[in-house]
Amino acid sequence: MPGQPAEAEELMIARDLALARLTDGRVHFQHVTTARGVDLIRAAKAEGLKVTGEATPHHLCLDHSAVASFDTVFKVNPPLRTPADVAAIKVGLLDGTLDAIATDHAPHTRQDKERPFLDAPPGMLGVETAFAIANTELDADIEKLVELLSINPARIAGIDDRHGGPIEVGRPANLALLDLDEQWTITGAALASRSSNTPFEGRSVRGTIRHTIWNGDLVVTNGEATR
């Protein structure tokens, strides 16, 4: 089965950092998955390069042993890595080397995911479970989680004038109300997505998003969409 070795990712990170160094440009790395990749970004930040990076919920808690089952729900791009890589991603998120958690949300139909492993498309659901996975798997307080899931993504994308900012008069009321302690079990059939390709089926997690306010309007109430 063809693979995507860690070295392929690390070489591209090193190349792009060299270009950023040459041009004094800004570079953002999506879906960082390897320990060496985290180390390269950490060194670049210490050097003063304009670099940011992100990781996905699945890469901070799943490793490549899951793929031994050939269940296509675990097929993702970049692929799941070693337990050592998973540990490095967690450290990178906690120490500020990686700036954000990005869901890499990729729904697929049941028919697509039921194809043979080599033929099935990569990707898995991520949006609805991202907060719960981060809250459960990372040894982080709520301030750090908000930074990783809201403040930093908005800043990196250049939309922090309306998202991810402080709650104050004059700013758009784009808010989420969280329950940090609720225990629940992830089931694909119960998720809001029309797809059900979650790699976290049956996983017990802690924390949920109770309500969502968009531009001052309540659009999710008790976890159910109202608009």
Active-site residue (options: 24, 39, 104, 112): 104
Q: Is the pTM of this model over 0.85?
A: yes
Query: Which pLDDT tens digit goes with each residue over 64-116?
Result: 999 999 999 999 999 999 999 999 999 999 999 999 999 999 999 999 999 99
Give the gyration radius of the chain's Cα atoms: 18
Question: Would you state the pLDDT for residue 86?
Answer: 99
Question: Would you state the pLDDT for residue 226?
Answer: 85
Banded model confidence at residue 2, pLDDT cuts 50, 70, 90? confident
- CB contact at 8 A, 134 and 145: yes
Give yes or no: 104 in active site: yes
Q: Which CATH superfamily is domain 6-167 in?
A: Metal-dependent hydrolases (3.20.20.140)
Query: Which pLDDT tens digit goes with each residue over 150-174?
Result: 999 999 999 999 899 888 998 999 9
Banded model confidence at residue 211, pLDDT cuts 50, 70, 90? very high
Banded model confidence at residue 224, pLDDT cuts 50, 70, 90? confident
Domain ranges of the chain: 6-167
